[in-house]
Amino acid sequence: MTSRHRASDPAQTPPRADGPAPGPRRRTVVKAAAAGAALAAPLAAALPARAATGAPAFLHGVASGDPLPDGVLLWTRVTPVPEALPGSGAGPDTEVSWAVATDRAFTTVVARGSTVASAASDHTVKADIRGLRPATDYWFRFSAGGTDSPVARTRTAPAHDAAVSGLRFGVVSCANWEAGRFAAYRHLADRGDLDAWLHLGDYIYEYKSGEYAARGTVVRPHEPAHEILTLADYRIRHARHKTDPDLQALHHRAPVIAIWDDHEFADNAWSGGAVNHTEGAEGAWSDRQAAAKRAYFEWMPVRPAIAGTTYRRLRFGKLADLSLLDLRSFRSQQASTGSGSVDDPDRTLTGRAQLDWLKAGLTASDTTWRLVGNSVMISPFVVGALSADLLKPLAKLLGLPQEGLAINTDQWDGYTADRRELLGHLRGNAIRNTVFLTGDIHMAWANDVPVDAGTYPLSPSAATEFVVTSLTSDNLDDMVKVPEGTVSALAAPVIRAANRHVHWVDTDRHGYGVLDITAERAQMDYYVVSDRTRADATSSWARSYRTRSGTQKIERTYDRV
**Which domains does the chain possess?**
310-561 (3.60.21.70)
Bridge partners of residue 130, in order along the sequence = 6
Average model confidence (pLDDT) for the chain?
A: 88
C-alpha to C-alpha distance for 508 and 236, rounded to whole angstroms: 31
Among 367, 321, 347, residue whose Cα is nearest residue 414:
347
Please give the pLDDT value at position 6: 37
Q: Which residues does the chain have with pLDDT short of 70?
A: 1-53, 338-340, 383-406
Q: Dihedral (C-alpha) 498, 491, 473, 439: value to the nearest 10 degrees?
A: -30
Which is it for the CA torsion 352, 465, 319, 425, positive or negative? Answer: negative
Q: Give 37's contacts (C-beta < 8 A, 6+ positions apart).
A: none
C-alpha to C-alpha distance for 271 and 281, rounded to whole angstroms: 19
Amino acid, single-letter form, for residue 214: A
Three-state secondary structure string covering 58-102: CCCCEEEEEEECCEEEEEEECECCCCCCCCCCCCCCEEEEEEEEC
Please give the pLDDT value at position 341: 85
Please give the pLDDT value at position 487: 83
